[in-house]
Structure 1
Amino acid sequence: MDQENNSLFNDLHPVVLGLAVVIFGLEVMFQLATAGLLGGSGGIGWRMAAVRDYGVFHEIAAWMFANNSYPAHDLMRLVTYPLIHGGFIHAVFVSVFILAIGKMVSQVFSGLSILVLFFAGSIIGALAFVGLLNSTYPLIGGYPGVYALIGAFTFILWANMGRTGDNPMRAFSLIAMLLGIQILFAFLQGDWGSVVSDLSGFVTGFALSFVLIPGGLALLLQRLRKR
């Protein structure tokens, strides 16, 4: 059993494992603080303070655009918000997706490329969130970055299916299913923030794959010539 567990973690790219560990580790810290086991009485408010200080808010972005002022701390929100989550289940699902999708993507992409995908997807997702919506809720969590990794994984499937003669559009079945579920919940809850930010993350990941994957631009030109 131990050998199987060691093999599982040995197969994971250090960047993928490290990203999941950071996210899950922060959530464990918040859980301990909420339970009063860390930080004393002040620890109970750590999560709320982290959301306030590191989450993405439409009001803050609107103020920056209106005043043409971009404080470094507020710009940092674009890369800190994906590390902060609303609860244990939220963080666990993001961590599991990072490990699962990251493992497959890391077979083709370098560790640096994985970081670029995750944080570029997070940044573009946040910009779409504040630019297209007027949400009263903060944007937190790593799903836009996860969807960027899903975009890269979709690119891998799309490229391979094109080579083998399969219908390349089948590569988009995963994102179609996930977005279908999200759209349903958005209708029920009246909150479209996750749909906009996650879809933007996916598009970012797919588009960046043409640059980050070896031979990606050549593949794009080849597909365009066929049209």
Structure 2
Amino acid sequence: MTDRDYNAPPLNPLPWIVWALALPLIAVEIVVQLHAMGLAGGGVSSNWRLEAVQYFAFVPDWFRDDLATGRLAERGYRLISYVLVNASLTSTVFSVVMLLALGKMVGEVFRWWAVALVFIAAAALGALAYAYAIPGNQIPIIGTFPAVYGLIGAFTFMLWVRLAATGGTQARAFTLIGFLLGFQLLFGMLFGGNWEWVADLAGFATGFLLSFVVSPGGWSRVQARMRER
């Protein structure tokens, strides 16, 4: 028999910043579900998820208009707030699980502020790409995935550096993002023009490129690893 530490926590501890990012998503979904069950808000005559979408969603038309007229202060918060509400309970659960898993791996290497910066910057730049990369796009966007894809980008950077140091094939680091985006593109072609993958891809690129600056050692570390080869 092997020795067992009965004082060890049942779950691997997560960096506090990961919980700080995840808890608002969880809180919004709990409130929406409690209202749907009639346990909050005095009945189910209104749809709190829809109301949350109306308040938090990023609307490309609004952003372009606000930018042109200098009124970003009124609704500029939507560049980031759209990640707080997801389309369904299933989407929220999947987003939170990915956030906790990727946040743990990235948070064990990156400083807390770097994790937060990757998450927030991926959300904002994902929304900007969604607004400007698709001509005439007017469809609002919600959901945590662009920000989560930022963490995928940071995790990919970590794998890329590790493979460079060990002499492995660096292209293998992009297997996860290739699979996820391939699945999204296929889903979009089968079930209609879903352009949210543009925001996800931009979020991934943001996380990957930002890691050159905010990861421990940054670009100098990458250069050193390259020279070792």
Using structure 2 for the length normalisation, give the TM-score.
Answer: 0.89
| Helix, strand or coil at the partner of 1:40 | coil
8 A Cα contact 1:34 1:43, kept in partner: no
Map 1:30-179 → 2, pairs under 5 A = 30-41=32-43, 44-65=46-67, 67-133=68-134, 134-179=136-181
In structure 1, how many angstroms separate the alpha carbons of the residues matched to 2:59 and 2:206? 21
For structure 1, list consecutive stretches of 5 or more residues without a partner in the other structure. none
* 8 Å Cα contact 1:179-1:195 kept in structure 2: yes
Residue 43 of structure 1 deviates from its aligned partner by 6.9
Shift of 1:41: 3.6
Residue 77 of structure 2 aligns to a residue in which SS? helix
The CA deviation at 1:109 is 0.5
Aligned equivalents of 2:81, 2:8: Cα separation in 1: 30
Q: Tell me by how many angstroms 1:95 deviates.
A: 0.2
Give 1:19 deviation, angstroms: 1.8
Counterpart Cα distance in 1 of 2:146 and 2:25: 14
Q: Which amino acid aligns with 1:69?
A: G
User: Distance in 1 between the 2:52 and 2:32 partners?
Assistant: 10
Whole-angstrom distance in 1 between the partners of 2:82 and 2:227:
40
In the alignment, the residues of structure 2 paired with residue 214 and residue 105 of structure 1 have an alpha-carbon distance, to the nearest angstrom, of: 11
The range that moved more, 97-106 or 42-51, is: 42-51
Q: State the Cα deviation string for residues 75-128 of structure 1 (Å, max 9, x = none).
A: 000111111111100110000000111111111111111111111000000000
Provide the C-alpha distance between the structure 1 equivalents of 2:40 and 2:62, rounded to a whole number of angstroms. 30
Partner amino acid for 1:8?
L
TM-aligned CA deviation for residue 136 of structure 1: 4.0
Hey, what's the Cα distance between the residues in 2 that align with 1:107 and 1:187? 37
Which residue number in structure 1 is paired with residue 3 of structure 2? none
Report the aligned-residue RMSD.
Answer: 2.2
For 1:6, the aligned partner's letter is P
CA distance in 2, matches of 1:43, 1:208: 45
- What does residue 189 of structure 2 align with? 187
Give the secondary structure class of the aligned counterpart of 1:6. coil
Q: Which runs of 5+ in 2 are unaligned?
A: 1-5
- Aligned residue runs from structure 1 range 5-24, under 5 A: 6-9=9-12, 11-24=13-26
Residue 31 of structure 2 is matched in structure 1 by: 29
Greater per-residue helix proportion:
1
Does the 8 Å CA contact 1:135/1:193 hold for their aligned counterparts?
no
Q: Any conservation in 2 of the 1:33–1:43 contact (CA below 8 Å)?
A: no
User: Identity over the aligned pairs, expressed in percent?
Assistant: 38
Conserved? CA contact 1:139–1:193, under 8 Å: no
